[in-house]
Amino acid sequence: MANLENEELEKLSKSSVALSAYEMGQLQDELHDWHVEMKGGVNQLFRNFTFDNFAGALEFTNKVGALAEEYNHHPEIVTGWGYVQVRWWSHVVSGLHTNDFIMAAKTEQL
């Protein structure tokens, strides 16, 4: 899947299913700086971004927040002095969906 960041998000429902380990691996090939982490039994797509100070970090948090609002898909964002950690996952599938990899790719473009 080329240009993951340009793919359209799929509307999820209760019958949507999480990606298999194989599918996650395929999608992750395009996102070298992201890794899959299990947290509370739920697979999440995680990346740490570094910044020179707190203001730069908070500015990035707001950019990620605006992206999330635009696509109505929301990550967890950890903001600290010099870093921002972003975690994407899909609540309805209790894990990762292609949508999360698309959002991670869009996050990379910010």
Question: Applying CB under 8 A, which residues contact its own copies?
Answer: 54-55, 58, 61-62, 65, 68-69, 74-81
Cα angle 109, 20, 66 (rounded to 5 degrees) comes to 25
Around Cβ 46, how many Cβ atoms within 10 Å? Answer: 20
Residue closer to its own copies (CB basis): 34 or 88: 88
Q: Tokens for 69, please give them.
A: 């609002």
In angstroms, give the least distance from the CB of 65 to its own copies. Answer: 4
In angstroms, give the least distance from the CB of 3 to its own copies. Answer: 26
Residue closer to its own copies (CB basis): 34 or 89: 89
Q: What is the DSSP letter of 85?
A: E
CA dist 52 and 37 (Å) reads: 26
In angstroms, give the least distance from the CB of 76 to its own copies. Answer: 4
